[in-house]
Chain A
Amino acid sequence: MFISKLKQALICLKAGRVTLAYPYKPSPPPEGFRGKVKVDIDKCIGCAGCANVCPPGAIEVTDFDEGWRRIQFHLTRCISCGRCEEVCPEEAVKLTDEFELSTNTKEDLTVTIEVYMDTCQRCTRCFKPKHPLDKMMVTGFRQ
């Protein structure tokens, strides 16, 4: 009993102080961390492949005006799995190393982009003007 207690004390003493100084000092995550999603609006072609594969259904696609498509990433639902990044044919979606997401305003947790597209004369849905269909076929739109 006494020897056990001594050994336990020794373990504690050897460990020393292990608490990190975070949040007073930054604690950057390692490379490849899956954090807050970031979308490059210049690259996005509005194919909605990300919305198709998103497991929690956090990506909302609305064709809100003639030729305009809005893609919203609701981070309140996002599980940071990174499937959107994986399937994006244009590499427009990236998961950053930002992980401090707490906020007082809920709107901060929605990443919204609006892409100008053409409207199909038959089905009135949007599409990207320059060879978009070819691109979808090639890069696995449905995954």
Chain B
Amino acid sequence: MLTAKQIIETLRTRFDKQILGAEEKVSNQVFVRVVPDALIPVICFLNQCFSPRFLINAGTDVVQQDGKYVVSYIFSFDSEKIFLCIQVGLDSADPDIESITPIIAGANWSERETRDLVGISAKNHPDPRRLILADDWPEGVYPLRKDFPYDYRPPSEPQNKVPLKKPPEGTKVIPIGPFYPVLEEPAYFKLFVDGETIVDCDYRGFYSHRGIEKYGDSKLTYNQICFIAERICGICGFIHSTCYCEAVERAAGIEVPLRARYIRTIMLELERIHSHLLWLGIAAHIIGFDTLLMQSWRIREPVMWLCEKISGNRKTYGMNLIGGVRRDIPAEIHDEIVRVIEKIERETVEVIDAVVGDTSLHARLKNVGILKEAVARSICTVGPTVRGSGISIDSRVDHPYAAYKFVDFEVAVETGCDIWARTLVRLKETIEAVKIIKRCLLEMPDGPIMGEVMEEIPSGREAICCVEAPRGEAIHYVLTGQDNRPYRWRVRAPTYANLQCVPYIIKGERIADVPIIIGSLDPCYSCTERMAVVDVKTGQQKIYTKEEIIKR
């Protein structure tokens, strides 16, 4: 099997002087510094030889230290359990880099985000529109640069408009969102339709981008970020805080006690159970099957009470700190946990039994929203979405964290490629999560729950952590810094990767199926603030601006 040393060796022999440095900074995490011109050849070479999976890229402003902007392209070698980070230093006067999106389609949003926030533009990008920043954000102001104060509010420039795609010839426009009854969270999809059939679509979101990364690396301290990271998502909060803590712990070399790692695993799996049951209810609600909504949420509720009992709150557990967890799971409560999750297992099996043969569900969910394996791979889709397409990617196995190294479990994979396959994957994972928790409770060793944390976490260290959220992989990249806070903290939520495949999976489908197709990704996105109104008679489109809406 390929090892980290072999990857470094191969790159060194092939590219020789173009490699400025290569080091395995953390166990199984290789950081390779290359000259900017060699980026595309290196990535092409990697794609040919090993075909690693692209995760994210992260732009970092280190102008004060060595006058450069650094872009880190993070790849994952799944079966080898290795992260590879290709880093390119760019001159601060001209921070441009060749785009890798033509080679890896999944890098599309990531490169646009780096341009928006750090000001490193990708040359020859196929879709160089603004992605993250608000429409009225002035050009040339990059919030993640270090010379940008975290509380600075630049003046509004309302004339800046992000151009939306022109509808193809002969199609009509149907807006879905920003506020649409079945998709609880606001997002704006602009569908181009020919009759009932969807030809293409455009997406605009990120309107309530909260700038958590900036706040984290300029105001908060290491231990404060754990709690703010937990609030990135309302459902998979504990996943983000675990992911952040593990990334810092790996970077600083902090040893987490085994018991704390088991507790993290238990909480993560409890979160998976309630998230999947929540999704099942919402998906059923979208297709108008409210019986299932009521029942799956009824089954889910005892998990929330259980979490409240363990952690002191239903949803935001607040258990993680750098080095361990804050609350123990005492032996007295073990029986109750087992009782509750066994009941959930029993009831979930009953529900599965009752719905798998339901032909009215098959009619709505089978052969709808097809995500082919090749597309899923090129867009770098993650989580149950991709496991429903027959690809076995699961970071619990691929990049073990917490106590997953010690727990065996089955990765649920389905080959249907449709919504039904994704549903089955999630249901199987719910059952599997129950087994994992029971196993953890049995094997959990005694001992401390908080490890030894050094007085000051040394600066300049970096690490990546990848945690399997119910929706897919959450990825956190941390570069440690001075003043008890990270220098750069990059977060990627799973929906970021999954939402990019929407144009592919709704192509050729009918309008009525769009909500459930988007819903089948278990999306989790931010608010938007603008609306499009289409005049049905003329097909003319008018976009109202913020000012006009306020005036009304």
A interface list, Cβ under 8 A from B: 1, 3-5, 7-8, 10-12, 15, 18, 29-34, 53-56, 79-83, 86, 95, 143
Q: Is the CB of A11 within 8 A of B313?
A: no
Min Cβ gap A101→B in Å is: 14
Give the 6 A-B residue pairs with the shortest CB-CB distance, closest first: A7-B354, A55-B227, A4-B358, A55-B224, A34-B312, A81-B318
Question: Contacts A12-B295, A15-B298, A34-B312 known; A1 to B227 CB distance under 8 Å?
Answer: no
Q: How far is the CB of A68 from chain B (nearest CB, A)?
A: 28
- In Å, the complex CA distance between A31 and B336 comes to 15
Contact A56-B228, Cβ < 8 Å, known A12-B291, A18-B298: yes
Contacts of B224 in A (CB 8 A): 53-55
Contact A8 B312 (CB under 8 A): no
Once A29-B308, A79-B231, A86-B326 are accepted as A-B contacts, the answer to whether A8 and B316 lie under 8 Å apart by CB is: no
Tell me the smallest distance from the CB of B357 to a CB of chain A, in Å.
4
A33–B313 touching, CB < 8 Å: yes
Residues in A neighbouring B223, C-beta threshold 8 A: 53, 83, 143
Instruction: Establish whether residues A4 and B308, one from each chain, have CB atoms under 8 Å apart when the complex forms.
Output: no
Please give, as numbers and ranges, the residues of chain B lying within 8 Å of A81 by CB-CB distance: 227, 316, 318
CA distance A34 to B310 in the complex (A): 11
Residue of A nearest to B301 (CB): A18
A11, A15, A18, A32: residue with the most chain B Cβ atoms closer than 10 Å: A11
Say how far A74's CB is from chain B's closest CB, in angstroms.
16
Contact A4 B354 (CB under 8 A): yes
* A37 CA / B331 CA spacing, docked (Å): 28
Question: CB within 8 A of B295: which of A11, A31, A79?
Answer: A11
Can you add 4 more A-B contacts, CB < 8 Å, to A1-B357, A11-B295?
Answer: A4-B354, A4-B356, A8-B295, A34-B313
Whether B312 contacts A3 by the Cβ 8 Å rule is: no
A55 near B220 with CB under 8 A, answer: yes
Residues of chain B from 349 to 374 with CB closer than 8 A to chain A in the complex = 350-351, 353-360
**Closest Cβ–Cβ distance, residue A25 to chain B (whole Å):** 16
B309 in contact (CB, < 8 A): yes
Residue of A nearest to B316 (CB): A79
Q: Which chain B residue shows the least CB distance to A18?
A: B298
Q: Which residues does chain A contribute within 8 Å of B225, judged by CB atoms?
A: 55
Docked Cα-Cα span, A143 to B221, in Å, equals 11
Which of B316, B318, B358 meets A1, CB within 8 Å?
Answer: B358
Complex interface: chain A residues within 8 A of B347 (CB): 11
Check if A8 sits within 8 Å of B291, measured CB to CB: yes
Which single member of B226, B298, B318 contacts A34 (CB below 8 Å)? B318
Task: Decide yes or no: A33 and B312 within 8 Å by CB, A11-B351, A18-B298, A53-B223 being known contacts.
Answer: yes
Q: Name B310-348 residues within 8 Å CB distance of A.
A: 312-313, 316, 318, 326-327, 347
Task: Name the one of A5, A33, A34, A82 contacting B358, with C-beta atoms under 8 angstroms.
Answer: A5
Secondary structure call for the A interface: loop
Min C-beta distance of B293 to chain A, whole Å:
12
A36 to chain B, nearest CB (A): 13
The distance in angstroms between the C-alpha atoms of A11 and B346, with both chains bound, is 12
When C-beta atoms are compared, the residue in chain B nearest to A15 turns out to be: B298
26 inter-chain pairs at a CB distance below 8 angstroms, sorted by A residue, are A1-B357, A4-B358, A8-B291, A11-B347, A11-B350, A11-B354, A15-B295, A18-B298, A18-B301, A29-B308, A33-B308, A34-B318, A53-B224, A54-B224, A55-B220, A55-B224, A55-B226, A55-B227, A55-B228, A56-B227, A56-B228, A79-B227, A79-B316, A80-B313, A82-B318, A143-B223
Cα separation A1 to B362 with both chains bound (whole Å): 10
A5 CA / B291 CA spacing, docked (Å): 11
Residue numbers in A under 8 Å from B355 (CB-CB): 4, 8
Complex CA gap A52/B356 in Å reads 54
Whether B309 pairs with A1 at a CB distance below 8 angstroms is no
Q: A84 to nearest B CB, angstroms?
A: 12
B88 to chain A, nearest CB (A): 34
Residues of B within 8 A of A143 (CB): 223
Bound CA span A90–B401, Å: 36
Name the residue on A nearest B318 (C-beta): A81
With A and B bound together, what is the CA distance between A12 and B301 in angstroms? 15
Do residues A3 and B228 form an inter-chain contact, with CB atoms below 8 A? no
Given the known inter-chain contacts A55-B228, A81-B227, A81-B318, please indicate yes or no for A30 contacting B309, CB distance below 8 A: yes
Chain A residues near B221: list those with CB within 8 A.
Answer: 53
Knowing A1-B360, A15-B295, A79-B227, the reply to whether A30 touches B354 (Cβ < 8 A) is no
Whether the Cβ atoms of B227 and A83 lie closer than 8 Å is yes
Determine the chain A residues whose CB is within 8 A of the CB of B312 once the complex forms. 32-34, 82, 95
Q: How far is the CA of A51 from the CA of B175 in the complex (A)?
A: 46
Residues of A within 8 A of B351 (CB): 11
CB distance from B481 to the nearest CB of A (A): 18
Minimum distance in angstroms from A14 CB to a CB of chain B: 9
**For the complex, what is the distance from the CA of A57 to the CA of B220, rounded to whole Å?**
9
Min CB–CB distance A72 → chain B (angstroms): 19
Please give the distance in Å from B211's CB to the nearest CB on chain A.
14
CB distance from B547 to the nearest CB of A (A): 29
Docked complex Cα distance between A89 and B258 (Å): 28
Contacts of A18 in B (CB 8 A): 298, 301
Q: Are B308 and A30 touching (Cβ within 8 A)?
A: yes
- Residues in chain B near residue A79, CB distance under 8 A: 227, 231, 316, 318
Question: What's the nearest-Cβ distance from chain A to residue B354, in Å?
Answer: 4
A22 to chain B, nearest CB (A): 13
Residues facing A in B203-251 (CB within 8 A) are 220-221, 223-228, 231
Q: Which residues of A contact B359 (CB under 8 A)?
A: 1, 4
Q: Inside 8 A of B327's CB, which chain A residues have their CB?
A: 32
* Cβ distance A114 to chain B, nearest Cβ, rounded Å: 26
A135 to chain B, nearest CB (A): 20
On chain A, the residues within 8 Å of B308 by CB distance are: 29-30, 33
User: A139 CA to B445 CA in the complex, in Å?
Assistant: 29
Residues of B within 8 A of A8 (CB): 291-292, 295, 354-355, 358
The CA of A98 and the CA of B342, in the complex, are separated in Å by 31
Q: How far is the CA of A15 from the CA of B301 in the complex (A)?
A: 13
CA distance in complex: A47, B21 (Å): 47
Residues of A within 8 A of B357 (CB): 1, 3-4
Q: How far is the CA of A95 from the CA of B221 in the complex (A)?
A: 22
